[in-house]
Structure 1
């Protein structure tokens, strides 16, 4: 299985493509798209989208793994990050590739064993899992970690349809009907 991991950002969007054959992980490609801080946001988003479309065309991933938006203190930063994620999601959706989202803590846990691991620990573990020094910067490394996270989740043994749903959450999930609430007598 080949997975494209994306670490979205409006200034730097990391990508990493990882192959899994059995338990062996191989780095196919990685890098960081940095459109330029001085450009207007719309232009940066367009360049991120175009860059990811190019990566998808060159590497032909079977799935895309994207880090979810974290809860930021600054609402504007969260909004801009969400727009960068949107550009990434559209690049994958335009190629009809299924997209999966994972929380940053889930990605860290899948790679290092701890959801609170620091960037250096994640980088060391990514290098160990791939058996190579990771080329690129922290954004590319985070994207590779997102790809590894999905590969680990996809390889988990399933014990039925319910566990398959729990182990992999597609980015687009149909809404569940609201559960009825009943009040208990005091």
Structure 2
């Protein structure tokens, strides 16, 4: 099974693509789609959608794992991230993927065993589980890879579409 994990954001959208067979992971590809500040939001969203659609078409994942939006005190930021998240969901569904959503706490629990783990602990586990030389950068990419690992370990929960 090939999984794409996505950490939605409108400035940086991280993604990670993993193959998961039996109990083994193979890292296929990871990175981020970035948009520049000052670019109008509709154009940023189109860049994110087009970029993610291209990645889905190239790597042909079977399923998607997307980090849920957590409460943010900055309403403007939360709305922008929510819009980017909607774009990610749309790109996945348009690509024929089933989509599962996980809270940051669920992802931390799946990787570290503790839902309030520090970001650095999660990053260390990503590196260890995938036997990588270094933690994927930027942080958004590591978070996306963590979402993919979380999904592999609990893939039968909360499927919202195909």
- Whether TM exceeds 0.5 here: the answer is yes
Partners of 1:8 and 1:168 in 2: CA distance: 20
Which of the two has higher C-alpha Rg? Answer: 1
Partners of 2:69 and 2:138 in 1: CA distance: 20
Structure 2 residue matching 1:56: 3-state secondary structure: helix
Structure 2 residue matching 1:16: 3-state secondary structure: strand
The Cα shift of 1:72 comes to 1.4
- 2:160 is aligned, of 154, 162, 171, to 171
The count of residues paired between Structure 1 and Structure 2 equals: 160
Q: Which moved more, 1:104-113 or 1:128-137?
A: 128-137
Q: Give per-residue Cα distances to partners, 1:113-132, cap 9 Å, x unaligned.
A: 11111111111000100011
The alignment's C-alpha RMSD in Å is 1.2
Partners of 2:130 and 2:11 in 1: CA distance: 27
Are 1:2 and 1:17, in contact at CA under 8 Å, matched by a contact in 2?
A: yes
Q: Give per-residue Cα distances to partners, 1:130-172, cap 9 Å, x unaligned.
A: 0113443211100000000000002xxxxxxxxxxxx510235
Q: Could you say which structure has the greater relative contact order, defined with CA pairs below 8 angstroms and 6 or more residues apart?
A: 2
Moved over 6 A (4+): none
Partners of 2:135 and 2:30 in 1: CA distance: 9
Unpaired runs of at least 5, structure 1: 155-166, 173-186
- Correspondence 1:88 to 2:88: yes
Partners of 1:119 and 1:42 in 2: CA distance: 30
Partner of 2:144: 143
Unpaired runs of at least 5, structure 2: none
- Correspondence 1:62 to 2:59: no
Give the TM-score of the pair, scaled to structure 1: 0.83
The Cα shift of 1:37 comes to 1.2
